[in-house]
Amino acid sequence: MNQQVKTRKSWLKLEGRKLVISGPCSAESEEQILETARALAQGGHVDYFRAGVWKPRTMPGSFEGIGKEALQWLKKAKEETGLKITVEVATPQHVYEAIKAGVDVLWIGARTTVNPFAVQDIADAVAGLDIPIFIKNPINPDIKLWMGAVERFKKAGITRIGLVHRGFSYLGETKYRNRPQWQIPIEMMVTYPDLPMICDPSHICGNRTMLHEVAQKAIDLNFDGVMLESHPNPDEAWSDAKQQVTPSRLNEILDQLVLRESRQDDELIQNNLELLRGEIDEIDADLLAILGKRMNVAKRIGHFKKERNITILQQARWEEIVQRFIELGLANGLSRSFAIKLITAIHDESINNQEKIFRSEE
């Protein structure tokens, strides 16, 4: 760790407002880039124009970006609109090309942050350049990888670093494309209070409907800004079509964001409270998923008993379950009476379900 290098939020010149980064997921054509940049600049909210020029795709054969040719379109957009430009870089060659084209900020994508070798290669490529870098969280919820990337860039002498929270992949059921797991960016904010934290609702949501809600939540958590994808014709986008919105819809979303007053001394309390509530919400989701799974097993038992003509209630088994529940509950800091109430409610529901199976014809 290099303690000498000082990073600071002020490089973004936020002064009480929020930073907005927007633009298409991918650069597709010069017209698309110019049309989007013009419309976004006109809206007056956007500070940085983003577009993916090299796209890290999970499967080969899908659109992998136009490549360096598109940097010229971005350069044109910058000259014409005055918006600063930012692109994702994943290799030292990308860094070289982007800087040559006058890109103002480089960003490190989620699929790169997971790989310390790749991050180090990029850090070596920017060493001594002092270009600003936004670092997206890694795809998996491993805060250490995110921190490691920050440290690698600090060590390379980069003083202007921003963090981008784009959510974390999750195999279970979730309404998000990438679960926000707010406690992770909050922990990053506490660890690096001098680094701006930007939320990317587009990649968290994976759809258009929840963008405002997630952006507002980030603002309420005192994030420093948002990154949102915008495309003149979202349905026809070559990548991430479902989550992109037109520049006019984007401006509407931004207009509707409420910036709340935040007293400095309340901030930590609020963040901690939100952190804990976020944890509760996630645990509740897990709890219900597990209960659903348990109920499915109970239904399978119902079918089994029906086929063999066995009674639903097996007294000895029930007593054994209650006893086990009480013991496990106590071991986990839960009272005896709560354990009994809980298992009784679960068991009642299992019996109801099994009864339904007994009554049904199949």
Residues that bind ligand PEP (CB under 6 A): 25, 52, 109-111, 136, 166, 203
Q: How far is the CB of 27 from Mn ion (least distance, A)?
A: 12
Chain residues that interact with Mn ion, rule: CB under 5 A: 25, 240
For the chain, what is the radius of gyration of the CA atoms?
25
Q: Which does 166 bind (CB under 5 to 8 A by kind): Mn ion, ligand PEP, none?
A: ligand PEP
335's tokens: 């009272």
Closest separation in Å from C-beta 203 to ligand PEP: 4
**H-assigned helices in the chain:** 30-43, 69-81, 92-100, 110-113, 116-126, 143-155, 183-191, 201-205, 211-220, 247-256, 264-308, 315-331, 336-359
Selection from Mn ion, ligand PEP, none that 43 binds (CB < 5 to 8 A by kind) is none
Report, in Å, the least distance between residue 136 CB and ligand PEP.
Answer: 5
Decide which of ligand PEP, Mn ion, none touches 109; Cβ closer than 5 to 8 Å per partner kind.
Answer: ligand PEP
Q: Measured from the CB atom, is 243 or 271 closer to ligand PEP?
A: 243
Task: Phi first, then psi: give them for residue 225, nearest 5 degrees.
Answer: 175, -175
CB-wise, 235 or 361, nearer to Mn ion? 235
CB closer to Mn ion out of 110 and 161: 110
Q: Which is nearer to Mn ion, 81 or 243 (CB)?
A: 243
| 136 interface partner picked from Mn ion, ligand PEP, none, CB below 5 to 8 A per type | ligand PEP
Q: Could you tell me which of 113, 107, 56, 47 has the C-alpha nearest to residue 81?
A: 47
Residue type, position 269, single letter: I
Beta carbon nearer to ligand PEP, 110 or 186: 110
Shortest distance, position 291 Cβ to Mn ion, whole Å: 35
Sign of the alpha-carbon dihedral angle for 141, 143, 144, 147: positive
**Residue 107 burial (CB < 10 Å; 0-12/13-18/19+)?**
buried
Residue nearest ligand PEP, CB atom distance = 109
| Sign of the dihedral through C-alpha 180, 146, 49, 75 | negative
**Smallest distance from the beta carbon of 283 to ligand PEP, in angstroms?**
26
Residue closer to ligand PEP, measured from CB, 12 or 108: 108
In this structure, the number of other CB atoms found within 10 A of the CB of residue 316 comes to 7
CB of 109 to Mn ion, least distance (A): 9
Nearer to ligand PEP, 109 or 234 (CB): 109
> Residue 278 binds which entry of Mn ion, ligand PEP, none, with Cβ cut-offs from 5 to 8 Å by kind?
none
- d(CA 160, CA 28) in angstroms, rounded, equals 29
What gap in Å lies between CA 227 and CA 25, rounded to an integer?
11
